[in-house]
Amino acid sequence: MKDFPDYASLAKASKTDLLKHRSGLGFNSRAIRLRECAKLVASSKLKVKSIPSPLTPLLQRGESLAQVRNELMKLPGIGPYTSAAIMAFAWNKDVPVVDTNIRRVLIFLFKLDEKITPAELEHFAEKTIPKGKSRERHNALMDYGALELTARKTKIKPLSKQSKFEGSDRQVRGRIMKELVKR
């Protein structure tokens, strides 16, 4: 936030400066897409009427949550999960966000079938959001899944498994990236 406090400063950042700033954090392509979003928003080439500042009431113009989510997904690198996360965490809107931890917590606590589809789980999750408490609820569920109801404890398998980092292509790409931004 100190180095890139607004859209304009992030939009002006060079790719090298941005990657140096993120060094060691991974997901470099996300940083590049975020900069592309900032360029579009800062230059007003993309008129996303539904993206308010955090202080502007989201639905003041009468847009539905689905309409706002669709507008967000017009931005580079923002898909269904990220658009929901923005709405829930940044704007505290009652939109379900289902990551691997929240999935596990919901399946475990509500004794749902582990084979529930993502769409069915999202529909179920939406019904459990306390009005006006989306941000708190999602943070609590993520933490509860990460710290208490772990995969080991619940025996609920994740939908995908990430390979080991040591000796992986990701590790090699990370080393290459560090060398490239140095030069």
- How is residue 10 written in tokens? 């992030």
The reported pLDDT for the residue numbered 54 is: 37
Sorted by sequence, the CB contacts under 8 Å of residue 147 that are 6+ apart come out as: none
124-154 burial, b if ≥16 CB within 10 A, otherwise e?
bbeeebeeeebbebbeebbebbeeebeeeeb
Between vectors from CA 179 to CA 173 and to CA 180, what angle results, nearest 5°? Answer: 85
Identity of residue 3: D
Give ∠ CA 28-5-60 in degrees, rounded to 5.
105
pLDDT of residue 30: 83
Please report the pLDDT score of residue 6 as a whole number.
82
Residue-by-residue DSSP string for 153-172: HH-PPPSS-PPPSTTSHHHH
pLDDT tens per residue, range 102-148: 999 999 999 999 999 999 999 999 999 999 999 999 999 999 999 99
Tens-place pLDDT, residues 32-79: 888 988 888 777 655 545 444 433 444 455 667 787 788 888 888 888
Summarize the confidence of residues 155-174 as an average pLDDT: 81
pLDDT level of residue 27 (50, 70, 90 thresholds)? confident
**pTM of this structure:** 0.74
Query: What confidence score (pLDDT) does residue 117 get?
Result: 95
Q: Cβ of 13: how many Cβ atoms within 10 Å?
A: 18
Cβ burial, residue 167 (10 Å; 0-12/13-18/19+): exposed
Domain boundaries defined on the chain: 1-47, 51-93, 96-183
pLDDT (mean) for 18-44: 80
